Chain A
Amino acid sequence: MDWHQLWTILTTPDNIPITALLFLVPFYTWYGLRQALANDRLIAQLEANPEMAKTHHRKVYPYKPGWPREVHVWPYLLRIELLAAIVVTVILMVWSITLDAPLEEPANPNLTMNPSKAPWYFLGLQEMLVYFDPWMAGVVMPTLIILGLMAIPYIDENPLGNGYYTFRQRKFAILTFIFGFIVLWVSMIVIGTMIRGPGWMWFWPGQTWDHNKLIFEVNRDLPDIAPFSYIPGIKTQPVRGLFGAAVMGIYVVLAGWLIHKLITLTPFNRKIYARMSLLQYVVMQFFLITMLLLPVKMLLRLLFRIKYIWVTPWFNI
């Protein structure tokens, strides 16, 4: 156990945001879900008791019949904003006095940094480079993340949970977002920062970052593995490419089937599904199937050392 190495990684000034992220993301997830569960209890109560639902004010906050529904911005909101600004300023001041922004040697194209890392918020993408070629990890995936995020309001046909925290009424949406944001985005950033050392190799927390460490990973492509390698002509191009296309086709069908099962799991899910237009459904399937490709490729790589599924003269996936 190399505590010194661990300490160095955790306290490198540029890594402080990730150390902060390790606390902030779980905290706010808990904070949001706690309110969601409180609302869910209220919803269950009201659903069981329609009489109560007619007269109830439908919030978990304290309420008295005569209270005004609105308050003045001045002073009730502005004083909070002022306070928030002061608190943020103090935090920034203390942070800036105690920790110095990093400055390395002057730029030198002849001296490669090892590990040479992108800024932390892009480490998720850099980590993806392990599993995908640069055109996928660096260009296609980021574009799809942006477009996929933008599409969310237009494919989510569930009218419930607009303007209040709830889990019960939006299980699929919330679990999907948490999977994308926390499992795929934040945890990849954490891995990229804390785990990846020289040569972008995997070092467990507390392992020394050994610059001379070499791992000879024998990564193979799917067509070269046991049953498939016997397919006649698999070593040469048209067959190899067609084989990959077929496997990708099978993946799309399987993933699409799985996602379809999930979004029609409960009677409520089916009700929302019935509201969706064909276009909405196709767009949603496209983004979810693509998103799922990342964990699938990670598993293929980590468990079976498979590099590419689909090999063509122009691109590999």
Chain B
Amino acid sequence: MADTDGKNGGAPESKTPAGNGRRSTLAALLEDSKAIRQRAIEEIKALKQPQKTVLWKSMFRVKHDETARSRALGVLTNVFLHLHPAKINRDAVRYSYTWGMGGISFYLYIVLVFTGVLLMFYYHPTKVVAFRDILYLEHDVPFGKLLRNMHRWAAHLMVITVELHMFRVFLTGSYKPPRQFNWVVGVILLVLTLLLSFTGYLLPDDQLGFWAVTVGTNMARATPLLGHDGPFGPQLGMTPFNDVRFGLLGGSIVDANALLRAYIWHCVALPIIASTFMIVHFWRVRKDGGISGPAPVMLESEIKEPRKL
């Protein structure tokens, strides 16, 4: 800038007759401002292609164009997208194959974490206060009711989508080698999804949750060996005050301790465990060679001899 200034400032000086210093300074200033305006326009025009800016390049590193290389790198160099391969089976993007249920389950999980964290800002896991917090959320917190509804319905929906996902995986035989272990991880995720949903049920501390959890944990007292009402429980010294049910509830009845325990399982422990298993699940999908199909059909005559032990 300084260099340009010098030239522009110097040039009029030599052309205009001496003695008219004031006018020439003014003209120089005008010239200057015109040049600055020109530059500004050019720079703003350049913003129409934000991909070319230093800021953009520093964030995404990869060129934004339609070459195969950039498309692949755009996925591979992004931490959120790198769970995907760069390219996939051309038929695997059809909705008819996966029904999108695994992805939708994961999206619902994200929605649940997001709305759940917002709910935590308003919720205290203590008797009496908990119920009032729900009333407060429903009636006073801006969009509180919407927040609570979304958390509830997303949870129900997730149970449905996870079950349908399992159904799809079964129907396509996707648990067959080499994906056996990922099916096992999936079953664990199904159990965790149900447990997350169930532990959340008690948190409003209303009649619905209270009796559902009472019914649910009453079954725990009948656990064989470990419950005081279960087969061989009493023989092993189980009482209402030392069996599994006591451990789950933090007491012999559903009360303040049970509420706190449900809260910690629901908001801390289970989400961490479920997230961990999801990471493993997705990692394994990639390591097992990506989505199983749609694969070319195999014929009975092509079955290979079973491997011998």
Could you list which residues of chain A lie within 8 angstroms of chain B, going by C-beta atoms? 14, 16-17, 20-21, 24-25, 28-29, 31-33, 35-36, 39, 42-43, 46-47, 53, 57-59, 61, 67-78, 80-81, 84-85, 88-89, 92-93, 95-97, 99-109, 111-113, 116-122, 125-126, 133-135, 137-140, 146, 149-150, 152-154, 156-166, 169-170, 173-174, 177, 181, 268, 271, 275, 277, 314-315
Contact = CB atoms under 8 A, between A and B. Distances in A.
A168 to B, nearest CB: 9
Given A31-B99, A103-B204, A109-B253, A164 B297 contact: yes
B167 interface: yes
Contact of B160 (A24, A32, A74, A161): A24
B296 A17 contact: no
Secondary structure of the A contact surface, majority rule: helix
Contact of A164 (B184, B214, B294): B294
A47 B303 CA distance: 13
A111 B211 CA distance: 10
Q: Which 10 A-B pairs have the closest CB atoms?
A: A138-B219, A163-B293, A163-B295, A58-B296, A153-B180, A107-B210, A96-B149, A134-B222, A315-B231, A104-B207
Interface string B276-303: 0000000000000000111111111101
Nearest to B223: A139
B223 A58 contact: no
Nearest to A312: B231
Nearest to A116: B211
Given A103-B138, A277-B309, A162 B298 contact: yes
A102 B303 CA distance: 54
A234 to B, nearest CB: 22
Contact of B167 (A28, A43, A315): A28
Nearest to A84: B100
B149 A100 contact: yes
Interface stretch (B25-33, B44-52, B170-178, B266-274): B170-178
23 contacts: A14-B208, A17-B157, A39-B297, A59-B91, A61-B91, A73-B87, A74-B75, A75-B71, A76-B93, A78-B84, A85-B107, A106-B205, A107-B254, A117-B211, A134-B230, A139-B223, A153-B181, A164-B173, A173-B173, A268-B300, A314-B231, A314-B235, A315-B224
A149 B306 CA distance: 23
Contact of B174 (A35, A78, A162): A162
Contacts of A31: 96, 99
Contact of A97 (B146, B163, B212): B146
Interface in B115-147: 128, 131, 134-135, 138, 145-146
A243 to B, nearest CB: 18
Given A78-B81, A112-B211, A160 B303 contact: yes
B183 A159 contact: no
A265 B128 CA distance: 62
A150 B194 CA distance: 16
Contacts of A21: 160
Contacts of A161: 172-173, 176, 298
A31 B135 CA distance: 43
Contact of B183 (A39, A133, A152): A152
Contacts of B8: none
Interface residues of B, number: 108
Contacts of B172: 161, 163-165
A73 B84 contact: yes
A106 B206 contact: yes
Contacts of A29: 167
Contacts of B179: 153
A150 B173 contact: no
Given A72-B75, A104-B206, A164-B296, 10 more contacts: A28-B99, A28-B167, A43-B297, A73-B84, A95-B153, A108-B210, A139-B230, A146-B191, A166-B297, A181-B170
B201 A119 contact: yes
A119 B154 CA distance: 15
Contacts of A96: 146, 149-150, 153
Contacts of A116: 211-212, 214-215
B153 A59 contact: no
